[in-house]
Copies of this chain bind each other. A is one copy, B any other.
Amino acid sequence: MRLVSTDAGPARPPTIRTVAARAGVSKSLVSLVLQNSPRVSEQRRAAVLAAMAELGYRPDPAARSLAERRTRTVGVVLDDLTNPWYVDLLAGLRPVLHDHGLRPLLADGATEPDAVAALADLRVDGIVVVGTPADSSIEQVVGLGDAVPVVVAGTRESRLTVADVVANDDDAGARLATAHLLEHGHRRIAHIVGEGEVGRLRRDGHIATMRAAGVTEHCVDGDWTEATGHRLARELLDRDDRPTAILAANDLCAVGVLAAADELGLAVPGEVSVVGYDDTVFARLPRLSLTSVDSHIAEVGQAAGEALAARLAGDDPGAPTTRLITPALVVRGSTGPAR
Interface residues of A (CB under 8 A from B): 10, 58, 60-63, 65-66, 71, 81-82, 84, 87-88, 90-91, 94, 103-106, 108, 120-123, 147, 255, 258-259, 262, 281-282, 285-288
Contacts and interface: CB of A to CB of B under 8 A. Distances in A.
Nearest to A81: B87
B94 A87 contact: no
Given A262-B287, A285-B282, A61 B94 contact: no
Given A287-B259, A288-B285, A66 B58 contact: no
A199 B212 CA distance: 56
A55 to B, nearest CB: 14
A126 to B, nearest CB: 15
- Number of copies of chain A assembled together: 2
A81 to B, nearest CB: 5
Contacts of A288: 285, 287
Given A262-B287, A287-B288, A82 B281 contact: yes
Contacts of A10: 147
A147 B287 CA distance: 49
Contact of A122 (B61, B66, B120, B259): B61
Contact of A262 (B58, B103, B255, B286): B286
Contacts of A58: 120-121
A91 B106 CA distance: 13
Nearest to A285: B255
Contacts of A255: 285-287
B94 A62 contact: no
Contacts of A262: 286-287
Nearest to A10: B147
A71 B82 contact: no
Nearest to A59: B121
A81 B82 CA distance: 9
Contact of A123 (B62, B90, B106): B62
Contacts of A88: 82
A119 to B, nearest CB: 11
